[in-house]
């Protein structure tokens, strides 16, 4: 595995933790399990794309994946604070309003995202 791939995974994992997007006991989960959780919880595939198209090819096969190092770095950066200025949401050409966020608000008690299909 390349040190850069591990560094990017560590950055991504830290951001997911800060944002409350990781399940309980996430340290025991594989990157694939974390990616599946994020996809189910938020309905987006950036973590899955990073894991399958960059991290796992470098980790297990020591080969380049579908994402280049530059693309993987940009994907990880898109999770960091201030990323909205760098990666604005796509706008519909006929509508000037931004697309709504797919993220649910944090629980006011535990500061984690609510579990899907559970009352908040």
Q: Which is nearest to 5 in space by CA: 71, 81, 82?
A: 71
pLDDT in tens, 20-67: 888 888 888 889 999 999 888 888 889 999 999 999 898 887 777 888
As given in the structure block, the two tokens for residue 14 are 């830290």
- Does residue 15 register a pLDDT over 50? yes
Q: Classify residue 94 by burial, with Cβ atoms within 10 Å: 0-12, 13-18, 19+.
A: exposed
Q: Which is nearest to 54 in space by CA: 112, 105, 91, 6?
A: 6
């Amino acid at each position: 595995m390349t040190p850069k791939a591990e560094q990017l995974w560590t950055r991504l994992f830290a951001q997911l933790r800060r944002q409350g997007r990781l399940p309980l006991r996430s340290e025991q989960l594989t990157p694939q399990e974390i990616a599946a959780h994020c996809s189910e919880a938020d309905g987006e595939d950036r973590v899955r794309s990073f894991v399958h198209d960059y991290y796992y090819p470098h980790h297990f096969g020591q080969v380049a994946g579908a994402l280049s190092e530059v693309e993987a770095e940009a994907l990880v950066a898109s999770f960091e604070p201030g990323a909205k200025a760098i990666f604005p949401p796509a706008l519909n050409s006929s509508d000037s309003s931004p697309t709504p966020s797919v993220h649910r608000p944090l629980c006011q008690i535990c500061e984690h995202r609510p579990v899907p299909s559970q009352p908040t």
